[in-house]
Amino acid sequence: MRSSSLRALLAAAVVAGLVVPGASAASASGANIRCVDDVGSYAGRCTTGHDSIQAAVNAAEPGDLVLIGPGTYSEEVVVGAGKDGITIRGTDRNDVHLEGDSQTDRYGFLITARGVEVANMTASGFTHTAFFWTGTAGYHGRYLTAYNNGIYGVYALGSSGPGLFEKSYASGNPDAGFYIGECNPCDATIRDVDSVNNGLGYSGTNASGNLVIEDSRWIANGAGILPNTLDSEKLPPQCCIVIRNNLIQGSGSNPDVPLRGINAAAFGMGIGLAGSMYTLVHGNQVFDSNRYGIVVFPFPHETPNVYRAAGNRVERNTVADSGFYDLSLAAGSGDWNCFGGNTFATSDPPRIETLYGCEIQGGSLRNLPVSGGPVSTVELVTGLVRYSGNDNWRDQPVPDEQETMPDPLAGF
């Protein structure tokens, strides 16, 4: 989740015209390849050479590739006006490393140009976010590693699609490893990513419409996947997304996970639909959550309204070994939430698929009884007491090496 205190962002003008991220070979034909430092065997393809990433970005024209050689780069890179459709790639994901000053440097990449791809590198030690697209259209992040940053790992805010995060890894970030927020429609996909030991594996405040989170692994985060509605952010409510075929395991299992603020209320939730509307949760495996496996609940934080989590479908998931309940529907939730075809052992209310089965959508759920159980105001406070949060993101483990991009010159 993003608090209203984070609204102050670096500004850069966005020029007109959408360029789809990840330009094809045809669309990139004739583009310059601007190389940073020693790119080894790729050197023969370089159009120009530069001694910093920012210098290469400044020189780039729309459609160019910025290719970064192995090394540690202590810089914050801004990709702004006039840089639409550029691609920025490292030659090796594990050997190209942006390293921030963990006291002063805010962003590894701050991107406001349209259609920008960043790929095949690592960033850590930034006080805000490693890879940040904001106020743009078209973005693509892949083969990225973002660890031990002050708030987020890989983050798109107020940006329209097409958007894609894939084959990336985030850990040690106290808000979310991956975040997409303030978009409707988002027209975005998160797939085949690993989010480990973050405050939240995924958070998406007011992220709605044509957003799919799929085929990924969310392990030992404070909470696994948490789409949410906040009135203090733009475009409420959160609505109309798909969460499918993910593995969520050990949410809330690590007492030393970096996590702070209101996010602590979600500690121990595998998948939490916090004031969500018409979200489909399908075919996921959710194991060993400290409190709740999959929970639907209203979310009143920082808002004059209470968004009552309505119209959500929780179907054909396997949920096991949750500390409180595998499936939960909170008191105060809205109409038309349903649960069907799930494999589970415990629920609150009991017989949740009988009371709130998806097959009775032709009738009214409005008057069916809801238990007073999970995630009432009392339970949220209990969550905050249970886990008050740590600001220890600088001290989290360094991840193992990750899969690198097979061909960093693909498409050029």
For residue 140, the domain's CATH number is: 2.160.20.10
Does residue 375 share a domain with residue 255? yes
pLDDT exceeds cutoff 50 at 198: yes
Over residues 161-179, mean pLDDT: 97
Does residue 235 share a domain with residue 369? yes
pLDDT exceeds cutoff 60 at 20: no
260, part of any domain = yes
| Whole-prediction pTM | 0.89
Does residue 227 share a domain with residue 302? yes
SS3 call for 352: helix
346, part of any domain = yes
Does residue 357 share a domain with residue 292? yes
Over residues 335-362, mean pLDDT: 86
190, part of any domain = no
CB 336 within 8 A of CB 352: no
Does residue 128 share a domain with residue 24? yes
Does residue 256 share a domain with residue 167? no
Does residue 215 share a domain with residue 155? no
Q: What is the chain's Cα-based Rg?
A: 21
Query: Residues of 329-342 as b/e, b for ≥16 C-beta within 10 angstroms?
Result: bbbbbbebbbbbeb
404, part of any domain = no
User: Which percentage of the chain shows pLDDT scores above 90?
Assistant: 73
CB 3 within 8 A of CB 261: yes
Residue 83's domain comprises 16-171
23 pLDDT band (50/70/90 cuts)?
Answer: very low
Whole-number pLDDT of residue 365: 44
139, part of any domain = yes
Helix (H) or strand (E) holding 311: none
395, part of any domain = no
pLDDT exceeds cutoff 90 at 172: yes
Whole-number pLDDT of residue 102: 87
Does residue 276 share a domain with residue 229? yes
Task: Give the chain's end-to-end CA distance (angstroms, integer).
Answer: 37
Does residue 99 share a domain with residue 219? no
Number of helices (H), then strands (E), belonging to the chain: the values are: 3, 32
24 pLDDT band (50/70/90 cuts)?
Answer: very low
Structurally, how many domains does the chain consist of? Answer: 2
Among 152, 171, 190, the domain boundary falls at 171
Phi-psi region of 339 (alpha: psi -120 to 50; beta: other; left: phi over 0): beta
Over residues 119-143, mean pLDDT: 98
| pLDDT tens-digit map of 278-314 | 999 999 999 999 999 999 988 765 556 778 888 999 9
Tokens coding 193: 């990513």
pLDDT exceeds cutoff 70 at 378: no
Does residue 164 share a domain with residue 46? yes
199 pLDDT band (50/70/90 cuts)?
Answer: very high
305, part of any domain = yes
Does residue 129 share a domain with residue 207? no
Does residue 310 share a domain with residue 166? no
398, part of any domain = no
Over residues 236-254, mean pLDDT: 96
Calpha distance 11→298 (Å, rounded): 34
